[in-house]
């Protein structure tokens, strides 16, 4: 991968890894007020999607290259940055592969350098679902929300958006 593309991947991943509210001790925030019908058991699909989001984000935060196929690289948005747009500018498969590897490694290094830990996210659950996507939410130690949007590409789950609220 040429130096310009590598630099873009590194600086992008460094800026994205500063996810607010993920450092510090994991504390469960106070329970939200009761909502009618909220006591229903999560469906099997909800549990599978929440489990996928948690596992995939943990792999990304830990720098495991095995997360690569779980990301919708061509359409990936992270913390408001259109990573997919950068990815789509890569001239060939070798450069795209190098970008993926560099992004994952750099994201994890920066994420941990900020003192953040994926295990500090709690209460993984499906926030919304429609025919095109599922949004999985988790709670940060500071009581904020972290969202991961999952899409199906050729019948395979992929992370397409990371967003902190």
Band (pLDDT 50/70/90 cuts) for residue 4 is low
Q: Which domain holds residue 148?
A: 3-13+43-164
Residue 126 in any domain: the answer is: yes
Sheet holding 156-164, edge to edge: 81-82, 77-78, 156-164, 145-153, 134-139, 122-129
Residue 79 in any domain: the answer is: yes
Residues 83, 89, 93, 94: is their CA dihedral positive or negative? negative
Which CATH number goes with the domain that contains 125? Answer: 3.10.450
Q: Count of domains in the chain?
A: 1
Residue 73 in any domain: the answer is: yes
The DSSP symbol for 33 reads: P
Which tens digit of pLDDT belongs to each residue from 119-156?
Answer: 999 999 999 999 999 999 999 888 889 999 999 999 99
In angstroms, rounded to a whole number, what is the distance separating the alpha carbons of residues 121 and 138? 6
Residue 31 in any domain: the answer is: no
């Amino acid at each position: 991968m040429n130096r310009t593309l590598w630099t873009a991947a590194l600086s992008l991943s460094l800026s994205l890894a500063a996810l607010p509210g993920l450092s510090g001790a994991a504390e469960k925030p106070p329970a939200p007020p009761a909502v009618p019908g909220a006591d229903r058991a999560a469906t099997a699909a909800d549990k599978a999607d929440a489990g996928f989001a948690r596992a995939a984000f943990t792999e990304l935060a830990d720098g495991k290259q095995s997360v690569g196929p779980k990301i919708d690289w061509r359409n990936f948005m992270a913390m408001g940055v259109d990573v997919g747009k950068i990815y789509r500018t890569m001239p060939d498969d070798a450069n795209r592969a190098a970008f993926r590897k560099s992004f994952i490694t750099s994201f994890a290094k920066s994420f941990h350098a900020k003192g953040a830990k994926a295990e500090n996210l709690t209460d993984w659950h499906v926030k919304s679902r429609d025919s095109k996507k599922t949004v999985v939410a988790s709670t940060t130690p500071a009581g904020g929300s972290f969202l991961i949007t999952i899409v199906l590409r050729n019948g395979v789950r992929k992370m397409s958006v990371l967003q902190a609220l």
